[in-house]
Each structure stands twice: as C-alpha cells, then as structure tokens.
C-alpha cells in the first residue's frame, strides 16, 4: 500500500461532481490507512520557506538558550521540549526508550476567545522565545495557514461522510489547535542509540485531523497499514501529509482509521542522526465537545465501539502518557496494533 496523493484545489470552486470525486478519494484513503498527501492546499511557498528558516534559527541555538522556554508543567502543552524528554508510545499504552526529537509547541489560547470562559490549562497562553526574531512571525503565519487547511479538510469530510454542511462547525469554533515543530538532530555525545529507539515512538494523534509539513528525509515517517506492516510516508514536493486522529475514529466507529505512525531515527550511511524537520498542526476540536458515534456509523448489529468522551478528557489521558510517562491504560486497542506490527 502507498500513501495516496489527492488534489483538493477544486473542492471550493469546482462542480458538485468534482467535489464528490475529491470527497470519495478522501473517504477511500480514510478507510484504508487514515493517511493521505494533499496538493492544491493553497499555502504559499514563501510561508513554508519562512517556517523552515525560523525553525532552523531557533533549533540551532545552544540547549541552554532553549530550555528557559519550557512549559512550567507536563500538562501545559506549550513551549520547548528537549531531546529525550518524551515517549509518544506511552500514549498508546506501550513502553519504549525516550524519543530522539526536540520540539516547540504553540496553540490556541484562552486569550483568542475573550467572550468565552475557557479552561486555562486546556487553552494556555503561548510561550514565545525572545530570539531569534525570525521565529514568531514565521510560526504564526504557518499556524494560521495550516489551521485553515484543517478546516477545509473537515468540509471535505462532511461530504465524504454524507453529513450536512457545517456539521463539524459547532465542534471546532474554539478548537484546541496545537502546532508542534519537531527537530531531529542529536549532539555528538547522544549519538549512540538505545535498542529500538525511535525518532518518535508509535502513536495515534488525539484529535480530528493533523496537517503536516515534513522534510523528505528517509528513513523517517512511517504509517502502520491494515496488514500490520510499516510503510514509508515521505512527502512529495509541495505536498502536505494529512492524517486522521482519534476523534474521527470515534465519530465513525472505526470506519475511518486513526492512523498509527512513528518516525524512525533519520540516520545516514555512517549511522549518525541527520537533521529532519516537521511541523504538525493538530486540529483537535473544542475542549468541551462531546464526541459520540455518528448514527450512520453504528447499528444494532454494529454497536458503538467507544464510549462518549470530551475532547479534553481524551487528550489529557494521551498527554499523561507521552509527557508525564504514565502508560495509558485506555489504549488497549492501540497497544495491540503496535505489538502486532510485522516490521
């Protein structure tokens, strides 16, 4: 199986038949693997180029200059995360060695919605480094563009699932959008990898949909297919990677897959970790949104597989795994998928 590439440019301006054809391609990819590449997304090249420069300028700083921008606690999903400080597989119920990546997170803040009384832990204030000057404007521009792509994808999802227009709007009008900038480049003293150590451990994403820009570095991102094999997901030039998260699996009763994925250590021929960058926009939905199986996706003979949950409750359990290092006890199905993988 390969990751399909879908041109979404005509979804907004095309005919009903063209819109239906795009939605059908998305439906097929969502059923088969939960991952796809999209072109025609509309994000200007200069926005992506500025993002890459801003990331390079920040992550090239000495570690001592980055660590002051860490979050004050593990439940605040903002700011800097140093290398070897997280274990993503814990969120899926599987223990692993520490992940290699370092990261920086920004996201939706309670200050973005002054008329709502939002939880300041779920919607914390962002933490911005004072330098480099290139970082904040580039990251903000990418965040805004990628968040729009995520909402564009939910409009396609409505057609693909036969839902009314704007069905998802009440679930995302104060969405917990989080942008995670990932950087893989190990200092010399940390070049020796532990057994089965990952760049980023196997996990599913927590929300509705993820919009990902990534370097075309291999080995790198891999997706677990329906036969239990890991397949490479190297982006094509100009393409963004799109994957579904746990909220879509819950809504659709696993008609659509929350894709299990991991990042292999990006190694050169000498076995050294080389630089790899990615920027993942997690469009998670409103913290207080209650997610229950869609009536069209369950029946008396095919009951709902998941209990209703709020977005905030689900995300908190996941973050307690990856950041606070508590094995997620509610991820038995995900753990089984990881442990049953062939390669």
**Going by C-beta distance under 8 Å and a sequence separation of 6 or more, which residues neighbour residue 135?**
54, 55, 57, 58, 128, 129
pLDDT digits (tens, 9 = 90+) for 125-148: 999 999 999 999 999 999 999 999
Q: Is residue 256 a contact partner of residue 162, using CB atoms and an 8 Å limit?
A: no
Residues 279 and 183: their CA atoms lie apart, in Å, by 9
- Taking the domains of the chain in order of start, what are their residue ranges? 5-339
Q: Tens digit of pLDDT for each residue in 200-257?
A: 888 999 999 999 999 887 778 999 988 888 999 988 999 999 999 999 999 999 999 9
Examine the pLDDT at 58 and tell me if it is beyond 80.
yes
Cis peptide before 63 (omega within 30 of 0): no
The pLDDT score that the predictor gives to residue 182 is: 95
CA torsion sign for 192, 194, 197, 200 is negative
- Record the pTM: 0.93
Residue 155, CB half-sphere, CA atoms under 13 Å: how many?
13
pLDDT at residue 213 in the model: 96
5-339: CATH number: 2.60.120.330
The full DSSP string for 7-68 is E-THHHHS-HHHHHHHHHHHHHHHHHTSEEEEE-----HHHHHHHHHHHHHHHTS-HHHHGG
- Dihedrals phi, psi of 130, to nearest 5 degrees: -75, -15
Tens digits of residue pLDDT in 98-116: 777 899 999 999 999 999 9
């Amino acid at each position: 199986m390969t990751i399909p590439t879908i041109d979404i440019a005509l979804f907004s301006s095309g005919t009903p038949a063209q819109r239906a054809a795009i939605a059908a391609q998305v439906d097929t990819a969502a059923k088969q693997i939960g991952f796809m590449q999209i072109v025609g997304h509309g994000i200007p090249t200069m926005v992506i180029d500025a993002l890459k420069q801003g990331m390079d300028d920040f992550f090239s700083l000495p570690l001592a200059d980055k660590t002051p921008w860490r979050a004050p606690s593990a439940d605040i999903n903002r700011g800097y995360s140093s290398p070897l400080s997280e274990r993503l597989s814990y969120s899926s119920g599987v223990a692993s060695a520490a992940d290699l990546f370092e990261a920086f997170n920004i996201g939706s803040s309670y200050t973005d919605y002054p008329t709502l009384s939002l939880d300041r832990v779920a919607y914390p204030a962002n933490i911005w480094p004072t330098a480099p000057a290139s970082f904040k404007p580039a990251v903000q521009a990418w965040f805004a563009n990628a968040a729009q792509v995520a909402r564009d994808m939910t409009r396609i999802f409505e057609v693909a699932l036969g839902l009314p227009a704007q069905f998802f709007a009440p679930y995302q009008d104060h969405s917990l959008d989080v942008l995670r900038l990932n950087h893989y480049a190990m200092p010399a003293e940390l070049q020796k990898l532990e057994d089965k150590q990952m760049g980023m451990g196997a996990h599913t994403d927590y929300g509705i949909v993820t919009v990902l820009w990534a370097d075309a570095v291999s080995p790198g991102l891999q997706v677990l297919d329906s036969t239990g094999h890991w397949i490479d997901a190297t982006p094509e030039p100009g393409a963004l990677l799109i994957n579904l998260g746990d909220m879509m699996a819950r809504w659709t009763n696993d008609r659509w897959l929350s894709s299990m994925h991991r990042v292999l250590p990006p190694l050169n021929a000498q076995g050294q970790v080389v630089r790899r960058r990615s920027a993942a926009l997690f469009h998670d939905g409103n913290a207080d949104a209650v997610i229950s199986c869609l009536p069209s996706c369950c029946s008396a003979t095919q009951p709902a597989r998941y209990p209703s949950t709020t977005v905030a409750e689900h995300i908190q359990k996941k973050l307690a795994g990856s950041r606070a290092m508590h094995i997620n006890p509610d991820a038995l199905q995900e753990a089984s998928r990881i442990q049953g993988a062939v390669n």
